[in-house]
Amino acid sequence: MAIALRVTANRPKTGVLPWRRILARLASGVIVLWAAVTIAFFTLQAIPGDIADILAGEQTYPGLKEAITAEWGLDESVWQQYLAFLGRLVTGDLGTSYVQRQPVADLLAAQVWSTVELAVVAGVVGAVLAVVLAVVSIGRTRVVRSAISTLELVFTSVPTFWVGILLLMVFSFQWRLFPVAGANGWQSLVLPVITLALPTAGFLAQVIRESMERTLTEPFIVTVRARGVSESLVLLRHALGHALLPVMTLVGGIIGALLGGAVITETVFGRPGIGTITLNAVTGKDIPVVIAVVLFAALIYVVVSTVLDILYTIVDPRLRAQR
C-alpha cells in the first residue's frame, strides 16, 4: 500500500487536479447537505401547532382540516413523510409552498437573481474596498494606520439596517439621488450594495493587512527588493498576491455573511429576493420554503468551499507537494 502510494505521488502529471481530495470533499459535502435538510425537516415537523392549521389559514369549516391533512399527506407517519420528502428532493422537486400554493422551486427561481446580483456586486465592491484600505494603510504613519483601522472597526460594528436607513435618509429623502425602494435598474442597486459591502470591506481589510504584514517579513520579499523592484510594485504584485492566498479560505464564510446580510438589506430597501421570501416564509411558517432556503444556503456553502479548497491546492504548490 505504502509503495503504491509513493508511486502515484512520484507521477507529477496526475497531480494537477487532486481527484481523491475532490471526491472526499464532494462526499462530505453531500453528507452536510443531507444532515442540514434532515435536521431542518425534523425540527420543523415538531413545530408547535398543527400544519393543517397553517394551511387552512383564515378559513374554517367542518371537514376542511381533514381534507387538507389527506391532500398534503400529513396523516402519514413522520418517517413516511421524511422518505417521501427525500425522494422528491432527489428528483429535484422542492415541494409546494403552504402559503403561496406554488412550487417552491418556481418561487425561488423567480427571486434568486435579484439576491445573487446584490450579493455578487456587494462582494466585489467590498473586496476592492478592502484591498484599497489594506494597501493604503500599510507602511504608513501611525496616525494614518489608526485612522484606517478605526474606519474598519466602524464598518464591522455598524448594523447593516442602520447604514441602509442612514443612506436612505441622505441620498433618497434629502437629495433624491436614488430610489427609495424596488429593484429597477442600477440606481436602485447603489445604496443596497454600499450597505452590504461595508461590513465585508471592514472585515476583509483587517485580514488582508495582517496577511500582507506577515508576507512582507518573508525572505522572498527581501530578494524582490534587492532586485531593485519599486516599493509599490513589491506591495501590489508580490505581497498582495501572496497575502490573498490565505484569504481564499474565508470566502465561503464571507459569501454566507453576504447572503445573511442580503436578508436584512432587502428588507430595508424593499427589494424582492431570497431574503424577502425567507422572511415571509418564517413569519408565515411556510415550512417547505424554509427548508428549500436552508438547502440553498447549505448548497452554496458546500459548493463554494469545495471549489475553493481545490483551487487552493492548484494555486499553492506547497499543498500539492504535501498530499
- Which residues in this chain contact another protein in the complex, by CB under 8 A? 28, 31-32, 35-36, 39-40, 43-44, 46-48, 153-154, 156-162, 165-166, 168-169, 173, 253, 256-257, 259-261, 263-264, 267-268, 278-279, 281-283, 285, 287, 290, 293-294, 297-298, 301-302, 318, 321-322
Nearest to 240 by CA among 137, 147, 317: 137
Q: How many CB atoms lie within 10 A of CB 301?
A: 19
Given the complex with another protein, which of 64 and 311 has the nearer CB atom?
311
Nearest distance, CB of residue 285 and another protein, angstroms: 6
> Smallest distance from the beta carbon of 259 to another protein, in angstroms?
5
Choice between 27 and 311, CB closer to another protein? 27
Judged by CB, which is closer to another protein: 66, or 273? Answer: 273
The nearer residue to another protein, 271 or 285, going by C-beta atoms, is 285
* Shortest separation between residue 213's beta carbon and another protein, angstroms: 14
One-letter identity of residue 76? E
Burial class of residue 234, CB neighbours in 10 A (0-12, 13-18, 19+): middle
Q: How far is it, in rounded angstroms, from Cα 200 to Cα 253?
A: 11
Provide the 3-class DSSP secondary structure of residue 105: helix
Q: Minimum distance between the CB of residue 164 and another protein, rounded to whole angstroms?
A: 10
Whichever of 61 and 175 has its CB closer to another protein, that residue is 175
Spell out the long-range contacts of 20-25 with Cβ–Cβ below 8 A and sequence spacing 24 or more.
Answer: 21/309, 21/310, 21/313, 21/323, 22/306, 22/310, 25/305, 25/306, 25/309, 25/310
Q: How far is the CB of 103 from another protein (least distance, A)?
A: 20
Nearest to 161 by CA among 269, 254, 255: 269
